[in-house]
Structure 1
Amino acid sequence: MIELRSDTFTLPTDKMMESIQAVELGDNVYDEDPMTQRLEEEVARKLGKEAAILMPSGTMANLASILAHCPRGSKVIVGDESDIYIYEAAGASVCGGIMYEPVPTQLDGRLAISDMEKAFPIEPEDPQFALPSLICIENTHNRMGGRVLPLSYLQEVRTFAEMKGVSVHMDGARLFHASVALGIEASEIVSYADSVQFCLSKGLSAPIGSIVAGTKEFVQKVYRLRKMLGGGMRQTGIIAAPGLVAIQHMIDRLNDDHANALRLAKGLSEIPGIDIRVEDVETNIVFFRIDHPRHTWQTFVQAAREHGLHIGELGHGRIRAVTHSGVQTADIDQALLIIRKLMS
């Protein structure tokens, strides 16, 4: 089976499995797991932040970050196509009494400054209105097709946030895809955000875990919130060890995933009945639509599965294919053969 539904299906490398066997363990709730400490220090250094903390998942990482930034009764500005708004179960409202203020997401993943401006009341002292306390941006942007936010835009958001007196959190689940695509260090990208989370368990291929980074004071708040949310884990070295391997050895190879995604997109563009914008493919995510009298997206996805190709729908009837370390160039070519057969 060729697995293109998500890069969450990546499996740990042999080196990661070996690191788990050899790791020295301690109780991380007591902050005594040496490998976790090493991973957090390495990530903080790599991102140019004061501190970092290991989290069980990206959802908890984003939730704890929002709770750390926002007082109860305030608003968090999010994109209406963002993972935080759509896929994370309204956690900030449920757990923190924080209101989501969705604004339109542009085709390239940006939130227009003019749209964010509308989330701020004209009379901030009017007690009728909840006040924004945080802007969340997503980089790369999942539902917009793995698009990378330009540095010039990140600077605009930073300037706007400072003018409004609010913080910026970056949901960087696929942060290092953006770094590789732009050919710059991740630290430069996250310098425009007060906090960031990224996933070890997507393109970086570790089996579990995400990281939050920011100031020492901020990370200490997240540390307390992680415990409250049930994320205080014990011998986390078995998570941290493969995570460190991911950080040290799995970033540069993301270029291969980007090349395979582009190869897939170009191949799809040559198949009648496939609607795709090749120019939108910047990292490892490919979106396309089915425009064929024989198929709906539902029948197409089912037929593809029966022929050995796993893909899925991700909003608005679009089919998503995600390349990762478990997919080789030969798999891309085989996937294109399957799709050609289904569309013929």
Structure 2
Amino acid sequence: MRVIDFRSDTLTQPTVEMRQAMLNAELGDDVYGEDPTINKLEEMGAKLVGKEAALFVPSGTMGNQLAVLCHTQRGDEIILEERSHIYNYEAGGIAFLSGVQPRIVKGDNGIMSAGDVEKAIVTDKDIHHPQTGLICIENTHNMAGGIVVPLEAMEEIYELGRKYSLPIHLDGARVFNASTALGCDVRDITKYCDSIMFCLSKGLCAPVGSILAGSKDFIDKARRYRKMLGGGMRQAGILAAAGIIALTDMIQRLSEDHGNAKLLAKGLKYIEGIHISMDTVQSNIVMVDISSPKYSSYSLVDKLKEKGILASDINSSRIRFVTHKYISKDDIEHTISVFKEILQ
């Protein structure tokens, strides 16, 4: 049976070119700083996002958690958007590892306003109050549906950081989707943060790994914490080789995924029992709200699976679809026809 997998862009497979590069990668011991392929990837990643230094980490979650560890002290409070990945989907790591607590800000489709962020900053020195230690932004915002945070919003929050001497960390797991959607250089986004994590997997198709970037002192500290958390790998250049291909060859094709997401949304929005806000289809994620009397999102996901189409139920009335390199226009058209068959 034909299977079309929209559950996540984490399901992408490394390309033939990546596999060949991995086979031929020059290797060393990265814990000793002697893996030339890792060193090349880290230098490339830092330059790409306009930071002094970078660190290869096994996952985006580890990259985010290292950032919180490096920027904060135990007992601090950090500001996060209410649906952010760091707050909702990293297993409580900020509490367990860093000993910090979240101060949640409700965003407009995931976008925090500078005014709301400023209200959340603790400005007194009352010993009863936790002190604000960090502001985190997510761009694109996953659970808001791939929403792109505008440069103006990034800049305004960054200026708050300067005003209150607070670092800004960017969870940029899909930051290249954001720069593609905005039609700008990624450094136009990353200049408004002190540190950034971005994924080499997901839309960029590398099998494993993310990059954490920031100042040299920040990365030196993060490297020590990475070792402490068990993330110090040895001949990791075999993974970095795929990451280099991801950064050199895969960013420019993300616009195809965005186009396919819009094609899917346009094809589904007029089907009875479905609602899609086209304003929110900005990158490679489509949130589909179900109002059919026949199906909840859970039962519809099960029905789609029977037809070979895999998607993620977010709650009882919402399904998430994520486009990626291995979703074609023909797959989109087939998916639309299956929806019509089920719901009409």
* TM-score scaled by length of structure 1: 0.98
Counterpart for residue 291 of structure 2: 291
Paired letter, 1:114: G
Q: Deviations over 1:123-179 (max 9, x none)?
A: x11100001110000000001110111111111011111111100000000000011
Identity between Structure 1 and Structure 2 (%):
44
Say yes or no: does 1:222 pair with 2:237.
no
Residues 44-64 of structure 1, C-alpha deviations (whole Å, 9 max, x = no match): 111111001100000000000
Aligned to 1:318: 318
Where 1:137 maps in the other structure, the secondary structure is strand
3-state DSSP of counterpart to 2:202: coil
- Describe the SS at the equivalent of 1:148: coil
Please tell me the residue identity of whatever aligns with 2:139: N
Distance (whole Å) between structure 2 residues aligned to residue 74 and residue 139 of structure 1: 23
User: Aligned to 1:203, what secondary structure does the other structure show?
Assistant: helix
Contact 2:19 2:242 in 1 (8 A): yes
Question: Does the 8 Å contact 2:77/2:103 carry over to 1?
Answer: yes
Q: Deviations over 1:89-114 (max 9, x none)?
A: 1112101111111111221x211223
Partner of 1:151: 151
Q: Given the alignment of the two structures, is residue 269 of structure 1 paired with residue 272 of structure 2, yes or no?
A: no
Structure-2 separation of matches of 1:151 and 1:213: 19
Query: 2:316 & 2:153 partners in 1: Cα distance?
Result: 26
Matched position secondary structure for 1:169:
strand
- Give a deviation string over 1:299-343, Cα, whole Å, max 9, x none: 100000000100011246311000001111100011111111110
Which of 53, 73, 87 does residue 71 from structure 1 map onto? 73
**Deviations 1:29-52, CA, capped at 9 Å, x for gaps:** 111110000000011111111001
SS in 2 for 1:43: helix
**How is 1:66-215 mapped onto 2 (pairs within 5 angstroms)?**
66-107=68-109, 109-121=110-122, 124-215=124-215
Greater shift, 12-21 or 268-277, is seen at: 268-277
Deviation at 1:117, TM superposition (A): 2.3
* Matched position secondary structure for 1:252: helix
How far, CA to CA, are the matches of 1:75 and 1:295 in structure 2? 41
8 Å CA contact 2:81, 2:106 repeated in 1: yes
Show CA shifts across 1:61-97 (max 9, x none): 0000110000111111111100000000111210111
How many aligned positions are there?
342
- 1:119 CA drift (Å): 2.2
CA distance in 1, matches of 2:141, 2:31: 33
Q: What residue ranges of structure 2 are gaps of 5+ in the alignment?
A: none
Q: Deviations over 1:208-253 (max 9, x none)?
A: 0000001000011110110111101111111100000000000010
Name the SS for the 1:267 alignment partner: helix
Matches of 1:178 and 1:121, distance apart in 2: 30
The 5 Å alignment of 1:46-61 reads 46-61=48-63
In 1, Cα distance between equivalents of 2:252 and 2:224: 34
2:4 is matched with 2
Q: What code does the residue aligned with 1:174 have?
A: R
In the alignment, the residues of structure 2 paired with residue 45 and residue 184 of structure 1 have an alpha-carbon distance, to the nearest angstrom, of 16
RMSD across aligned C-alpha pairs, in angstroms? 1.0
Query: Any unmatched runs of 5+ in structure 1?
Result: none
Q: Which letter maps to 1:6?
A: S
Partner-residue secondary structure (3-state), 2:289: strand
- Provide the C-alpha distance between the structure 2 equivalents of 1:336 and 1:120, rounded to a whole number of angstroms: 46
